[in-house]
Chain A
Amino acid sequence: MFSPIQKDVLIELLNIHIGQAASVLSEMLNQRVILTIPEIELITSDNLNILEFVQLGFSIGQKIISSIKFESKFEGMAYLVFPIEKAKSLVEICLEKVTTEKLDDSSITLTDLDFDVLKELCNIVFNSLIGEFGNLLNLKIRYSVPDINILCISTNKNYSLPPEINILILHTKFLLINNEIAATILVTLSTNSIYLLINKINELLGDLL
């Protein structure tokens, strides 16, 4: 769907949006957040099993998954996935608690307040990422209230995605002072949304094309 140069521009735009997400995370956590440059893939699902991406970020274990639906002429869903043991650390930073306890997947329990804080954090990241598309396309994007759950990824399950949708997958790492958080962001977009993006990218490329 994207030519090589269009994909280049898209990656550049996503880098900027992710950078802004890191900036707001830094404000929320009150510490420097360094973001690794995301590996970006653009695929079209066809009953794709998401475990095919296991080695790229969806490792086995419990994850926090937050999702938000966005609509207008630019529509789709965004998902943010990260390990559950990192979730507790993030909450403690937000609430300015200190812990020396080393947490593993099996010992994590999250309270309602923890989920509330995480939902707020994910919402801020989603708005940074998707909202910038709204600004880029000069559209007003409407959001659903974000959802947050625990997802258990195991080798026994098949995580199929709906067919005929377009998916941007961004694997990135947020580096905090004492913590590295590997997060995966998926953005599913309708075909019309992809064409809106392509048209905008062509406009940006102008005479270069």
Chain B
Amino acid sequence: MKILVIDDSIFMQKLVESSLEKNFPEVIIITADNGEDGFNLYQIEKPNYIVTDLLMPGMDGIELVHKIRDFDKEVKIIVITADIQKTVRDEIERLQVSAFINKPFNEEKVIQLIKTIRSGN
């Protein structure tokens, strides 16, 4: 399984990476710290899952998810964000994401991420 993690915070990248590696020992993780690099890596690496933040410099996560969905209705996308606005959640969920998880990325949210991936959602 290949998972692309996109977040401009190295701390967040490491947190997500660590939780994925603990639960999926065979996983291959690729990272990017902005939407544009994330989109390029998505095209090259064809990951099974994309785990992305929303607020990033340059191309933000909302634009990224829209752009990916223009190409690919099937790839599984999980959003992890500090944005608590209902309008944002509604917009993202309309793009058929697998999960919308609010930061901070604590134990409960790790479980939510892992369950989402395990369910193949």
Q: Does B103 contact A (CB under 8 A)?
A: yes
Smallest CB gap from B62: residue in A: A142
Q: In the assembled complex, which residues on chain A have CB atoms less than 8 Å from the CB atom of B84?
A: 127-128, 131-132, 135
Q: In the assembled complex, which residues on chain A have CB atoms less than 8 Å from the CB atom of B57?
A: 145
Q: Are A135 and B86 in contact (CB under 8 A)?
A: yes
Residue from B9, B87, B88, B106 in contact with A119 in the complex, judged by beta carbons closer than 8 Å: B9
Residue from B11, B82, B88, B103 in contact with A140 in the complex, judged by beta carbons closer than 8 Å: B88
Q: Does B83 contact A (CB under 8 A)?
A: yes
Q: In the assembled complex, which residues on chain B have CB atoms less than 8 Å from the CB atom of A34?
A: none
Q: Interface size bucket, A side?
A: 20 to 34
Within the assembled complex, what's the spacing in Å between the Cα atoms of A129 and B88? 15
Counted as pairs of residues, one from A and one from B, with CB atoms less than 8 Å apart, the total is 58
Q: Does A143 contact B (CB under 8 A)?
A: yes
Q: Are A124 and B103 in contact (CB under 8 A)?
A: yes
Q: Are B87 and A145 in contact (CB under 8 A)?
A: no
Interface residues in A93-142 (C-beta closer than 8 Å to B): 94, 113, 116-117, 119-120, 123-124, 126-128, 131-132, 134-135, 138-141
Smallest CB gap from A144: residue in B: B55
Q: Does B119 contact A (CB under 8 A)?
A: no
Binary contact track B56-99/A, C-beta < 8 Å → 1, others 0: 11000000000000000000000000111111100100000000
Give the one of B8, B57, B104 with max A CB within 10 A.
Answer: B104
Q: In the assembled complex, which residues on chain B have CB atoms less than 8 Å from the CB atom of A143?
A: 55, 83
Nearest-neighbour CB distance to chain A for B107, whole angstroms, equals 8
Q: Are B106 and A116 in contact (CB under 8 A)?
A: no
Q: In the assembled complex, which residues on chain A have CB atoms less than 8 Å from the CB atom of B27?
A: none
Q: Does B111 contact A (CB under 8 A)?
A: no
Q: Are B86 and A120 in contact (CB under 8 A)?
A: no
Smallest CB gap from B54: residue in A: A143
Nearest-neighbour CB distance to chain B for A120, whole angstroms, equals 5
Within the assembled complex, what's the spacing in Å between the Cα atoms of A134 and B85? 6
Binary contact track A137-157/B, C-beta < 8 Å → 1, others 0: 011110101000000000000
Interface residues of A (CB under 8 A from B): 24, 27-28, 30, 94, 113, 116-117, 119-120, 123-124, 126-128, 131-132, 134-135, 138-141, 143, 145
Given A116-B10, A126-B82, A134-B87; 14 other pairs, CB 8 A cutoff = A27-B106, A28-B106, A113-B10, A117-B11, A124-B82, A127-B83, A128-B82, A132-B84, A135-B85, A135-B86, A139-B87, A140-B85, A143-B83, A145-B8
